[in-house]
């Protein structure tokens, strides 16, 4: 079983979308053996995903209505095979406070390669619906890009 954790700031926009998109794409490809979750470094416990995140995911056949935000859960990070953050600040937060996870802590926008200035996925919170759509498209593109790497590295 591969365990992937997505991390953002509040766990109400980007990381829930990434979690849901990966789960959706994995099922669509008729795969099993995946546990995926999401958390926030400054998570607001038990909050719904943002309105636009829910609406845009719903348009893509992905249901975020059951999502509730969570702060970092250390035992779950310990069990993870891969921790994928949305921005450098979250990756660095995990590295600073939990250096033992550094070998599995990466940016979604960079993994499995090297990070660049374009590797950060900006937070759409408070932004327009258009910005949320762009963020969803970026996340979905990265999820589709990394699935072959996940299969190759973790599903043997």
Kindly list the structural domains of the chain, giving each domain's residue range(s) and its CATH number in brackets, ordered by start.
Answer: 2-148 (3.40.50.2300)
Give catalytic status of residue 123 as yes or no.
Answer: yes
Catalytic residue among 3, 13, 14, 57: 14
C-beta of residue 64 within 8 angstroms of C-beta of residue 32: no
pLDDT tens for each residue of the chain, 156 residues long: 999 999 999 999 999 999 999 999 999 988 889 999 999 999 678 999 999 999 999 999 999 999 999 999 999 999 999 999 999 999 999 999 999 999 999 999 999 998 888 899 999 999 999 999 999 999 999 999 999 999 988 876
d(CA 129, CA 10): 18
Catalytic residue among 8, 13, 57, 70: 8
Cβ atoms < 10 Å from Cβ of 63: 11
């Amino acid at each position: 079983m591969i365990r992937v954790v997505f991390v953002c700031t509040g766990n109400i926009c980007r990381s829930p979308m990434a979690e849901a998109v990966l789960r959706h794409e994995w099922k669509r490809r008729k795969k099993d053996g995946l546990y995926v979750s999401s958390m926030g470094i400054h998570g607001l416990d038990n909050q719904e995903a943002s309105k636009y995140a829910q609406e845009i995911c719903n348009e893509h056949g992905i249901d975020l209505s059951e999502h509730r935000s969570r702060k970092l859960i250390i035992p779950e990070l310990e069990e993870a095979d891969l921790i994928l953050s949305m921005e450098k600040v979250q990756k660095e937060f995990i590295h600073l406070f939990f250096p033992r996870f550094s070998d599995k802590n990466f940016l979604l926008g960079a993994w499995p390669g090297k990070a660049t200035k374009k590797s950060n996925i900006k937070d759409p919170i408070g932004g327009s619906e258009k910005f949320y759509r762009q963020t969803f498209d970026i996340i979905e593109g990265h999820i589709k890009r990394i699935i072959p790497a996940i299969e190759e590295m973790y599903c043997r």
